[in-house]
Amino acid sequence: MKLKLIYPKWAKLPGQTTFNLPPHGPVVFAATLPDYVDVSFTDENVEDIDFDEECDLVAISMMLSTQVKRGWEIAALYRERGKQVIFGGISTMLHAEETVDHADSVFLGEAEGRMEEVLTDWKNGQLKKVYNYMQKSPDIELIGPARRDLYKHNLYNHKGVQMVDLFHASRGCRFSCYPCAVTYLGGRLFRPRPMDRVVEELATIDNNRLFVVDNSLAQNKEWEMELFREMIPFKKKWVSHTIQDDPAVLDLASQAGAWYVYQAIYDTSNYIRERIKRYHDHGIGVEGTILIGLDNQSEDDIKRLINFLLEINLDLAEFTVMTPFPHTKGFDDFYRQGRIFDMNWDHYNAGQVVYHPKQMSAERLQELFQYAWDTFYHDESQEQKMFQLFTKVALKEMADGTYRPRNRELINQSFGKQLQRKVG
- For residue 78, the model assigns a pLDDT of 98
| CA separation for the pair 363, 54 (Å, rounded) | 48
Alpha-carbon 188 to chain mean position: 19
Q: Rg (Cα) of the chain, in Å, rounded?
A: 22
Name the pLDDT band for 415 (thresholds 50, 70, 90).
very low
Alpha-carbon 223 to chain mean position: 22
Give the SS3 label for residue 206: coil
The torsion region of residue 296 among left (phi > 0), alpha (psi -120 to 50) and beta comes to alpha
What's the one-letter identity of residue 250? L
Q: Give the alpha-carbon dihedral of 178, 26, 382, 260, to 10 degrees.
A: 70
Give the SS3 label for residue 114: coil
Q: Contact, 55 vs 122, CB < 8 A?
A: no
- The CA distances from residue 226 to 102, 193, 315, in Å, are 44, 12, 27
21-38 pLDDT tens trace: 999 999 999 999 999 999
- For residue 409, the model assigns a pLDDT of 35
140-149 pLDDT tens trace: 999 999 999 9
Alpha-carbon 278 to chain mean position: 25
- For residue 99, the model assigns a pLDDT of 98
- For residue 421, the model assigns a pLDDT of 54
Name the pLDDT band for 160 (thresholds 50, 70, 90).
confident
- pLDDT of residue 404 exceeding 90: no
HSE, CB side, 13 Å, CA atoms: give it for residue 315. Answer: 23
The torsion region of residue 66 among left (phi > 0), alpha (psi -120 to 50) and beta comes to alpha
Q: In 197-337, at which residue ranges do the beta strands (DSSP E only) sit? A: 209-212, 237-240, 258-264, 285-292, 316-321
Q: Contact, 390 vs 329, CB < 8 A?
A: no
Query: Is this structure's pTM higher than 0.85?
Result: yes
- For residue 410, the model assigns a pLDDT of 40
